[in-house]
């Protein structure tokens, strides 16, 4: 079977027709939904990391908080439930998509408010409460993304999808700017600083972020429910409730195994530190990774057992999870499929691992929150948008794989500039240069990568396969990124940035091999 996607004939429109299409109500709707989706992500990452550092939380603990966003990496697991399971009362009142959107958005607001009501500097288990609130925010935000993706596909014809995606991304970037630069400006204005920590300032800042999420809620209440698509599989409410039980049971087993193994893992880490002190950090990472995969295996085993007991419908599980995977391996064959999955898993590793600790790095270099907000958030956003535009034009001109290679090369090399910034210290001009190069290359790489992922999907399983790809691309980098603070503490910033540069080298080889296999 041909590995390359089919391309439909493109109808050329006049400039007047093109500009008129931008005013379509669905296109404008996706701008607001993009904004709603872009706000939560930085409240887990950069803004929260600065808050925790000001509160006196250790660098290692701060970077571990990046794991709170693993919900984005595993969202494909509960996407089928969100896709079809009706919500009692709400679905009848608002419709299938809008009911789930409203529920997810209210959960996002509630999670942000819970974070605002928790002072990480206070004694007791407040840091644990903050971690739980961050996990809730990651889970509810990922759920909102699932529904918005489904709504975007169902609300308009295929010819409008490109514009819907464009306005969604623009709104997403604006939301990130508000949650990044906006939250930092507000926190500084309310009176907190690195020298004088103020919990009240961060509390009001996060309450303000919860308030701006009402834009998404208002959009959900004002729009119309998309026309319901006819499904090839006719499942009843009983099927989905049993499937929900399958998911809850598997998740409960995963959580139980992960937390109950904590004492064993701590004992193994202490033993490794005593026996092999020179390899203690590497062994600690291996033990923690084993703990995670052990918990995942337990959750999968529980799901398999429930299917054998006919608690969940075997055909439904197979159609939801197995068929898209089997299709991918059939189309590309085992060797090429594994190569492509490796490329997806590693493509953004150097970029994401550095990004987890970047805000802590800027703070350690002595840059103030206004400088971080203006140079890194605002100027950086503009450079990312410029990189996306350039990447799109170059991809059309030279093809996906060439720009995919260029993006990976630039993303890796720009990490060397961070080594120079670590040596230079508090130099705003040098910081501006680093941010310009880093965000421009990130925009190019992301544009090419999204085009590459889209070309790998089968139209029969687009949503599920793309969810798997997008989850896979951040899973490994996020796991490694959780240890970035530990690595910096052990080696220093300059060696850490050199390591992230070297992480990008194997990716170039994977792209070259994938290009040969696909052509």
Q: What is the pLDDT of residues 152-194, one digit of tens each?
A: 777 766 556 556 666 777 788 889 888 888 888 899 898 888 7
Query: Please, which residues have CB within 8 angstroms of residue 45's CB and are 6 or more apart in sequence?
Result: 66, 69, 355, 356, 359
What pLDDT, on the 0 to 100 scale, is given for residue 277? 67
Which of 208, 142, 157, 156 lies closest to 29, judged by CA?
Answer: 156
* Helices vs. strands in the chain: H and E counts, helices first: 28, 0
277-303 pLDDT per residue, tens: 666 666 676 777 777 788 888 888 988
Fold held by 333-519: Growth Hormone; Chain: A; (1.20.1250)
- Concatenate the DSSP letters of all residues of 102-122 into one string: HHHHHHHHHHHHHHHT--TTS
Buried b (16+ CB within 10 A) or exposed e, 140-178: bbbbbbbbbbbbbeebbeeebeebbbbbbbbbbbbbbbb
The pLDDT tens digits along the chain (519 residues) read: 444 444 444 444 454 555 555 566 787 888 899 899 999 988 887 788 888 888 887 766 666 666 666 667 677 777 777 776 778 888 888 888 899 999 999 999 999 999 999 988 887 788 888 888 888 898 899 889 888 877 877 776 655 655 666 677 778 888 988 888 888 889 989 888 877 889 999 999 999 999 999 999 999 999 988 876 545 456 676 777 787 788 788 888 887 887 787 777 777 767 766 776 666 666 676 777 777 788 888 888 988 898 888 887 888 778 777 888 888 899 988 889 999 999 998 898 888 888 877 878 888 888 877 887 778 777 888 887 777 777 766 776 777 788 889 989 998 899 899 888 888 888 888 888 989 999 889 888 877 787 777 677 775 666 677 677 877 887 778 777 777 777 787 788 888 888 888 988 999 999 999 888 887
CA 346 to chain centre: 15
Residue 15 to residue 288: CA distance in whole angstroms: 56
Residue 309, both tokens: 């007991």
Query: Please, which residues have CB within 8 angstroms of residue 128's CB and are 6 or more apart in sequence?
Result: none
May I ask the CATH class of domain 17-226? mainly alpha
314-340 pLDDT per residue, tens: 887 787 778 888 888 999 888 899 999
Query: Please, which residues have CB within 8 angstroms of residue 24's CB and are 6 or more apart in sequence?
Result: 156, 160, 163
Residue 228 to residue 250: CA distance in whole angstroms: 30
* Long-range contacts at 487-496 (CB < 8 A, ≥ 24 apart): 487/281, 488/59, 488/357, 488/361, 489/59, 489/60, 490/281, 492/422, 493/361, 493/364, 493/418, 493/419, 493/422, 494/419, 494/422, 494/423, 496/357
Residue 316 to residue 23: CA distance in whole angstroms: 40
Whether the CB-CB separation of 421 and 494 falls below 8 Å is answered with no
Could you give the dihedral angle defined by the CA atoms of residues 138, 142, 148 and 150, in that order, rounded to the nearest 10 degrees? Answer: -170
191: left (phi over 0), alpha (psi -120 to 50) or beta: left
CATH 1.20.1250.20 residue ranges in the chain?
17-226, 333-519
Report how far apart, in Å, the C-alpha atoms of 264 and of each of 15, 256, 280 are. Answer: 65, 13, 16
Residue 507's CB: how many other CB atoms inside 10 A? 24
Which of 261, 303, 265 lies closest to 286, judged by CA?
Answer: 265
What pLDDT, on the 0 to 100 scale, is given for residue 6? 43
- On the CB side of 347, CA atoms within 13 Å amount to 31
Residue 412's CB: how many other CB atoms inside 10 A? 22
């Amino acid at each position: 079977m041909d590995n390359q996607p089919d391309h439909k004939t493109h109808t050329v429109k006049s400039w007047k027709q093109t500009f008129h299409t931008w005013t379509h109500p669905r296109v404008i709707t996706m701008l607001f939904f993009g904004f709603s989706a872009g706000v939560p992500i930085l409240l887990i990452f950069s803004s929260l990391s600065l808050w925790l550092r000001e509160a006196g939380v250790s660098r290692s603990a701060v970077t571990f908080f990046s794991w709170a966003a693993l919900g984005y990496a595993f969202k494909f697991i509960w996407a089928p439930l969100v896709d079809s399971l009706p919500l009692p009362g709400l679905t009848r009142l608002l419709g299938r998509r809008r009911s789930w959107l409203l529920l997810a958005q209210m959960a996002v607001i509630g999670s942000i408010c819970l974070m605002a009501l928790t002072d990480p500097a206070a004694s007791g288990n407040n840091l644990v409460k903050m971690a739980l609130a961050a996990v809730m925010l990651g889970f509810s935000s990922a759920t909102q993304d699932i529904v918005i993706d489904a709504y975007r596909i169902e609300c308009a014809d295929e010819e409008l999808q490109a514009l819907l995606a464009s306005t969604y991304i623009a709104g997403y970037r604006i939301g990130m700017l508000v949650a990044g630069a906006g939250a930092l400006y507000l926190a500084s204005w309310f009176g907190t600083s690195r020298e004088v920590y103020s919990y009240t300032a961060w509390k009001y800042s996060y309450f303000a972020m919860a308030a701006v999420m009402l834009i998404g809620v208002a959009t959900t209440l004002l729009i119309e429910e998309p026309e319901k698509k006819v499904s090839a599989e006719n499942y009843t409410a009983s099927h989905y409730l049993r499937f929900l039980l399958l998911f809850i049971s598997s998740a409960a087993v995963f959580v139980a195994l992960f937390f109950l193994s904590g004492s064993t893992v701590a004992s193994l880490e202490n033993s490794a530190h005593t026996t092999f002190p020179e390899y203690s950090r590497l062994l600690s990472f291996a033990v923690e990774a084993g703990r995670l995969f052990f918990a995942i295996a337990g959750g999968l085993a529980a799901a398999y057992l429930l299917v054998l007991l006919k608690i969940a419908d075997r055909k439904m599980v197979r159609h939801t999870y197995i068929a898209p995977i089997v299709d991918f391996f059939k189309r590309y064959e085992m060797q090429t499929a594994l190569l492509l999955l490796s490329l997806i898993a590693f493509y953004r590793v150097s970029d994401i691992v550095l990004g987890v600790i970047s805000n802590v790095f800027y703070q350690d270099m002595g840059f103030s929150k206004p400088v971080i907000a203006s140079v890194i958030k605002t100027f950086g956003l503009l450079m990312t948008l410029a990189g996306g535009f350039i990447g799109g034009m170059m991809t059309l001109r030279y093809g996906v794989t060439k720009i995919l290679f260029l993006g990976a090369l630039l993303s890796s090399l720009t990490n060397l500039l961070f080594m120079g910034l670590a040596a230079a210290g508090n130099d705003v001009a040098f910081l501006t240069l680093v941010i310009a190069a880093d965000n421009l290359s990130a925009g190019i790489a992301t544009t090419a990568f999204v085009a590459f992922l889209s070309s790998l999907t089968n139209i029969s399983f687009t949503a599920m396969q793309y969810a798997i790809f997008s989850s896979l691309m951040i899973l490994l980098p996020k796991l490694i990124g959780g240890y970035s603070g530990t690595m910096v503490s052990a080696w220093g910033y300059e060696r850490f940035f050199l390591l992230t540069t070297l992480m990008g080298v194997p990716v170039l080889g994977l792209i070259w091999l994938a290009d040969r296999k696909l052509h």
